[in-house]
Amino acid sequence: MKITKEELSRRKEALYAILEECSLCPRYCGVNRLKGEVGACKTADKAVVSTYGAHFGEERPLVGTRGSGTVFFSWCNLRCIYCQNYEISHLGEGNPVTTDVLAFIFLSIKEGGCHNLNLVTPTHVIPFWVKALEIIEEETRFDIPIVYNCSGYEDVEVLRLLEGIVDIYMPDFKYWDEATARRLSGIKDYPEVAKRALKEMHRQVGDLVIDSDGVARQGLLVRHLVLPGGLAGTKEVVRFIAEEISKDTYINIMDQYRPCGPHELPAPLNRRITQVEYQEAIDAARGIGLWRIDGMF
């Protein structure tokens, strides 16, 4: 962590103040979460944790040899109709925890030898995990990288409060088309919001830095899930990353889409992507100059 304990405390106070008329994410629900009100994320004044522990299914620079220390927060500020973690993100399966318990979880991950603390879906619960870090910092230094594993639907002003706290930003860039984002995830202005967010993340931490052991220490890692029928707008997404972020961006172009959720999905979401669709995505990224493609070098 690159800020002082005093500055961390100041940031925590600023983040808790946001909860009084919540604008942690670009939905800007305006509810008073400190008084138990809930908006789109269905979360009031406590984080809900689904699972936590060493995870070996993340990108290679996060996993290393000892795993990425993931904490899966329940609920979400998106409503993706195909979400692979539907029970967690839509139904909120998990347990509410105090910030003291969160601090214990974070320390157990560090003491368990994980390479990093990987906060999954952290946006709607930022004040709580920042306070947990403050609790830890009162006793000891939390000296493993903190990974902000998010949807890309982020408020830039809130991200600025995380500068010096977050070491590795790992956002999705889900869609290039606004209408698609509205239809599939129930959010407005996604492309413009995500573009601003990725630029701010890159300003803070730069390109991904990987040490001599192959483990990420700091920087930006972008995820992009290829959707059937070109719904994600992959060619436009990779062009933006190459031209307006950096050609040295580390990107995971993911092929694991599968129909999920409790309802039958409309075509083409009712099928997996084809090998041709995935290869076209990889070719588009390479063709525009991106070369740090997870699993490809």
Q: Under a CB-based contact definition with an 8 Å cutoff, are residues 54 and 66 in contact? A: yes
Q: Is 164 exposed, middle or buried (0-12, 13-18, 19+ CB in 10 A)?
A: middle
Structure confidence at residue 177 (pLDDT): 97
Residue 88 to residue 73: CA distance in whole angstroms: 8
Strands 47-55, 95-97: pairing kind: antiparallel
Structure confidence at residue 295 (pLDDT): 74
Residue 140 to residue 161: CA distance in whole angstroms: 22
The count of residues in the chain is 297
Q: What are phi and psi of 213, to 5 degrees?
A: -90, 5
Residue 272 to residue 280: CA distance in whole angstroms: 15
Residue 52 to residue 94: CA distance in whole angstroms: 11
Structure confidence at residue 250 (pLDDT): 98
Q: What does pLDDT average to over the chain?
A: 97
Q: Is the pTM of this model over 0.95?
A: yes
Structure confidence at residue 262 (pLDDT): 80
Residue 32 to residue 44: CA distance in whole angstroms: 8
Structure confidence at residue 297 (pLDDT): 57
**Number of neighbouring beta carbons within 10 Å of residue 96:** 14
Structure confidence at residue 108 (pLDDT): 98
User: Residue 51: which residues within 8 A CB-CB, separation 6 or more?
Assistant: 70, 72, 94
For 201, the 3-state DSSP assignment is: helix
Q: What is the pLDDT of residues 8-17, one digit of tens each?
A: 999 999 999 9
Strands 68-73, 117-120: pairing kind: parallel
Query: In the chain, which residues have pLDDT < 50?
Result: none
Place of tokens 């984080």: 47
Residue 73 to residue 131: CA distance in whole angstroms: 15
Domains identified in the chain and CATH numbers: 5-37+47-293 (3.20.20.70)
